[in-house]
Chains A and B, each alone.
Chain A
C-alpha cells in the first residue's frame, strides 16, 4: 500500500488545482470537470482528516527510552 499523502501535500494539490483553474484559459470542459472532481475529492479527504479528532500526546523519556502513551 502506497504511503498516505501528507496533509500539507494534499492541501498543496488542492491549491494548485485552484491556481490552475484561475490561471488557465483551458477550454476543454472534460478536463476541467475531471480536475474539479479531483479537487472535490481532495477537499473531502482533508475535511475528513480534520473532523472529530482530538490531540494525541505521547511521552518519551530522553534518558531511559521509556515510551508511554496517554491522551
Chain B
C-alpha cells in the first residue's frame, strides 16, 4: 500500500536520519554537555518569577540551592552565594534572571541564577528585616562605634541626586545656619538599578579625594522599592567602613532605612540632616561674645582685687610711716634733752681738764726750773774738778804713746813725750 509504503518509507527515512546522527556514540558526560549547551543556546537567558522554597546552603554556605514555585510547578535554582546581593528566605516572592542548565553529575535540570530581584512590598519588607538582623548581629549598627560630629565643620560633603528636592533643602538650611562651611556635592542616583553602585562610588570619591569633615547622605522619602538602594547591604557596609562621620537623612520621619541605622547620626529628614551637622552662626557669635564677656568680668574682678590690695597696702604703709615718724620725733626730742645734759657735763669736764692742764703746766715749769738750777750748780762743780781746770792752774800731763807718765823713772833716753798744757801740747825728746 502506497500509504503504508509512504509511511514505512518516512519511518525508514527518519530512522536512517537518526542512525546517521548518532553514527558515533557519545559518552554520558558528553551527552549531558551537549544537552546543556543546546539548552543554553536555544532557550538563552530567562527571567522567572515565583516563591522561594527549600532554600539550602551547601559547601560551607558558598553554594545556594532553592526552588521557585507557583501553583503547579517547581523550578530548581542554583547560584553562588557571592552573587546574592539581597537576603532571601522561603516564602519570598522574587524574580530571578539566569539560564537553564544541567548538573554534570546527575544531569539535574535547574536554572543557573545570576541575579535576584525582590518583588512586592512583602518580599522587600522581609528582605529588609533579614538584612537588618544580619548586620545587627555583626555589630554594624552598634552605638559604641558611632562617632561624634565635629563642632564646626569647615567642609561638608553631600551625596544625593543633584536635582532632588533634598539637595535644595540641605543647601538652604546650611546657607541659613552655617554658611562658613564649604559644601561639595558628589551627585549620585538615589534609586533605580545603578543607584547602589553610584552611591558606593560617591563614598569612595568622598573618602579618597574630597575628604570633608562630614558626609551627608540624603534623599527624599519614597516607597520601600524606591528606598531599596538605601536598604542594601553593600551600601550599609560602605557607610560602616567610611572613616569620615556620616549623617543620613531620608525622606519623612516615618521611613527608616538600613543606611539610617548604620549612620553615625540619623536624621529625620534631609533638612534635619543639615541641622544636625552644623551649628547656627548667630549662636556662635553670641557664644564668642559671652566668652569675651566672661573674660572681661573676670579681669575686671581681678583688677578690682588688685586695686583694693594696693589701697590696703598704701593705707597700712602710710599708717606705719606715721607711727615711725612719730617715734623718730620722740627720739629726737629725747635726744635734745639728753644732749643738753651731756653738753653741760662736757663743759664741766672741759673745765676740769683746763684746770688740771694749768696745774700740770705750772708744776712742770717749776720742776724744770729746779732741774735747770741743779744742772747749773752741778756743771760749776764739774768745771772745778776737771783736768782742764787743773792745767789752767799751771799743771801739765805728759804721755808717751798715749799713756800718762806718772814717774820720771818710767822714761828712757830718746823717748818722745807729749805734754798737754791748758792751751796746747808740746812734743819733746828725752835726752
Contact = CB atoms under 8 A, between A and B. Distances in A.
Contact of A62 (B174, B187, B291, B303): B187
Contact of B187 (A14, A26, A55, A59): A59
B209 A49 contact: no
A47 B182 contact: no
Contacts of B303: 29
B162 interface: yes
A14 B293 CA distance: 12
Contact of B152 (A8, A27, A56): A8
Interface string B179-206: 1111111111000000000100110110
Contact of A14 (B201, B288, B298): B288
Contacts of A55: 171, 174-175, 179, 181, 183
Contacts of A26: 302
Contacts of A8: 150-152, 154
Contacts of A50: 180, 281, 284-285
The interface centre, meaning the residue of B152, B186, B285 with most chain A CB atoms within 10 A of its CB, is B152
Contacts of A14: 288, 291
Contacts of B152: 6-8, 11
A56 B182 contact: yes
A21 B295 contact: yes
B89 to A, nearest CB: 33
B209 A60 contact: yes
Q: How large is the interface on A (under 10, 10 to 19, 20 to 34, 35 or more residues)?
A: 20 to 34
B293 to A, nearest CB: 9
B182 A39 contact: no
B375 to A, nearest CB: 92
Given A21-B298, A39-B292, A55-B174, A49 B182 contact: no
Given A15-B291, A40-B292, A56 B204 contact: no
A63 B175 CA distance: 27
Contacts, number: 101
Contacts of A39: 291-292, 295
Interface in A22-58: 22, 26-27, 29, 32-33, 36, 39-40, 43, 46-47, 49-50, 53-58
Given A60-B186, A62-B186, A49 B285 contact: no
Contact of B198 (A27, A43, A47, A63): A63
A59 to B, nearest CB: 5
Contacts of B296: 36
Given A6-B154, A21-B295, A47-B285, A60 B179 contact: no
B292 A43 contact: yes
B397 interface: no
B197 to A, nearest CB: 10
Contacts of B62: none
A63 to B, nearest CB: 6
A55 B187 CA distance: 18
Contacts of B35: none
Given A7-B154, A8-B152, A17-B295, A32 B302 contact: yes
14 contacts: A14-B288, A14-B291, A22-B294, A29-B303, A32-B302, A36-B296, A39-B292, A43-B291, A47-B288, A49-B180, A58-B183, A60-B185, A60-B210, A62-B188
Nearest first, the 5 A-B pairs at minimum CB distance are: A55-B175, A55-B179, A21-B298, A8-B152, A62-B205
Interface of B: 150-152, 154, 162, 171, 174-175, 179-188, 198, 201-202, 204-205, 209-210, 281, 284-285, 288-289, 291-292, 294-296, 298-299, 302-303, 306
Given A8-B150, A59-B186, 7 more contacts: A11-B151, A14-B288, A39-B292, A43-B291, A55-B179, A59-B185, A60-B184
